[in-house]
Amino acid sequence: MQTAFCLYKFFPFGGLQRDFLRIALACQARGCAVRVYTLEWRGEIPEGFDVVLVPVRALTNQRRYEKFSTWVRNHLARNPADRVVGFNKMPGLDVYFAADPCYEDKAQTLRSPLYRMSGRYRHFAAYEHAVFGAHSRTGILMISPLQKPLFQKYYHTADERFHLLPPGIALDRRAPANAPEIRAAFRREFGLDATDLLLLQIGSGFKTKGLDRSLKALAALPPELAGRCRLIAIGDDDPKPFVAQARALGLADRVSILVGRSDIPRFLLGADLLLHPAYNENTGTVLLEAVVAGLPVLTTAVCGYAHHIGDADAGVVVSEPFEQARLDASLARMLADEPARRHWRANGLSYAERADIYSNAERAADVILRDRQ
């Protein structure tokens, strides 16, 4: 059975990319041949994957994506696949993994009427309509229940086309038996003593993830807390605007911004709090990765997975509409209350034992391979 996966870009540390990889490997484990169409692949290629680098260029992203879709369609006509699975919205998909929020809703509520006259809008709106429109037969793998009503509002998509998946948290994010030893070694490596407080922010796309909000909250801490705190942000993005912001806020010596890396579990075990004050976030996998590592979380309610923080009682969720003052106050309270952090840590580890937050890839493979066995 030949399964074709389509995504515009693969790099090892993106959330969508990691979801794709786990799902593709789950399909491969069930006997599928895996072909991947992409414009760019960074990192190692798993054994048995046929990665097809689509040779198209254009001055704008939307034109490049149009050429990508056309090239893939023509290649599939000559080299058919039993299933075509997309991780970006595009025509011709049998199954779409809905990692991104509803574009039309953002265009209608957050953009001006002038924007909706642009070529960019016409392209992305048309590609979203190709997936969610009432005429389409594409099956939709949903990872956030918050988005389904928005898609149905604009496209009247039939209920039976949606398949809600549980989260897909990698088991290596769970705190191992030797977590205290890993934490101690990590803190020695980064020069942190027992009284220091390490704040962690993880995720590519620093602007969307709210790194600017985190820096403001760190700068607003009372002096007795501020002197003990450091912030490490990790992700694939341009750090320059945030380095400049940290310098302007007097935080240059307390903030480090690192590129994406493969040893994230060490950071989750070594830190004292995860900050994730996102502006918008379809899911927020890192929230659950922190929970299962025993790391308390401070996040915003717009994140699709924010409800898990409440379900687990493993941190604090800042309600909408967002106010910076509420984030500032929540951060100060959480850092000042060590017993509460121990409580949230224990609750997170308990949640890791009982919640269905690991089977995303297996459930996705069930849908992709349905009726094709």
Return d(Cα 167, Cα 207) in angstroms, integer: 24
Q: What is the tens place of the pLDDT at every residue in 148-176?
A: 999 999 999 999 999 999 998 988 899 99
Residue from 209, 188, 179, 216 nearest 331 by CA: 216
- For residues 295 and 343, membership in a common domain is answered with yes
Helix (H) or strand (E) segment spanning residue 179: helix 179-189
Is there a cis peptide before residue 277, judged by omega within 30 degrees of 0?
no
Mean pLDDT, rounded, of the chain: 95
**336, 341, 343, 344 alpha-carbon torsion, rounded to 10°:** 130
How many distinct structural domains can be found in the chain? 2
The model carries a pTM of: 0.81
Strand 229-234 vs strand 50-53: parallel, antiparallel, or unpaired? unpaired
Find residue 9's DSSP bridge partners: 40
Confidence class for position 102, pLDDT limits 50, 70, 90: very high
**Nearest Cα to 65, choosing from 138, 9, 145?**
9
> pLDDT tens digits for 131-152?
999 999 999 999 888 899 999 9
Q: Are 52 and 85 members of one domain?
A: yes
Interval 208-254: pLDDT, tens: 999 999 999 999 999 999 999 999 999 989 999 999 999 999 999 99
What is the predicted pLDDT for the residue at 227?
93
Q: Mark whether 304 and 195 lie in a shared domain.
A: yes
Residues 103 and 40 in one domain: yes
Helix (H, G, I), strand (E, B) or coil at 315: strand
Q: Examine the domain organization and report whether 21 and 39 are in the same domain.
A: yes
- CA 134, CA 128: separation in Å to the nearest integer? 12
Task: Tell me: pLDDT of 9 over 70.
Answer: yes
Q: Are residues 97 and 231 in the same domain?
A: no
Dihedral class, residue 255 (left if φ above 0, else alpha if ψ from -120 to 50, else beta): beta
Q: Assess whether 22 and 140 both reside in one domain.
A: yes
For residues 153 and 204, membership in a common domain is answered with no
CATH number for 218: 3.40.50.2000
Tokens representing 41 are 């692949």
Same domain, 179 and 200: yes
pLDDT digits (tens, 9 = 90+) for 47-77: 999 999 999 999 999 999 999 999 999 999 9
Give residue 146's domain range. 2-166+358-369
Q: Are 8 and 20 in contact (CB under 8 A)?
A: no
Cβ contact 341:315 at 8 Å: no
Query: Residue 341's closest CA among 311, 310, 315, 306?
Result: 315
Decide if pLDDT at 370 tops 90.
no
Q: Is the pLDDT reported for residue 371 higher than 60? A: no
Q: Is pLDDT at 180 greater than 80 in this prediction?
A: yes
222 and 304 inside one domain: yes
Question: Residue 373: which pLDDT band, with cuts at 50, 70 and 90?
Answer: very low
Q: 289 and 260 in one domain?
A: yes
Q: What percent of the chain has pLDDT over 90?
A: 90
Q: Cβ distance 367 to 95 under 8 Å?
A: yes
209 residue type, one letter: K
Answer for the pair 308, 285: CB distance below 8 angstroms, yes or no.
no
Average pLDDT over residues 303-330: 96
Tell me: do 224 and 276 sit in the same domain: yes
Phi, psi of 97 (to 5 degrees): -95, 110
pLDDT tens readout for residues 244-300:
999 999 999 999 999 989 899 999 999 999 999 999 888 899 999 999 999 999 999
A 10 A CB-CB count for 8 gives 18
Q: Tell me the HSE value of 145 on the side-chain side, using a 13 A CA sphere.
A: 7
Q: 71: exposed, middle or buried (C-beta count within 10 Å: 0-12, 13-18, 19+)?
A: middle
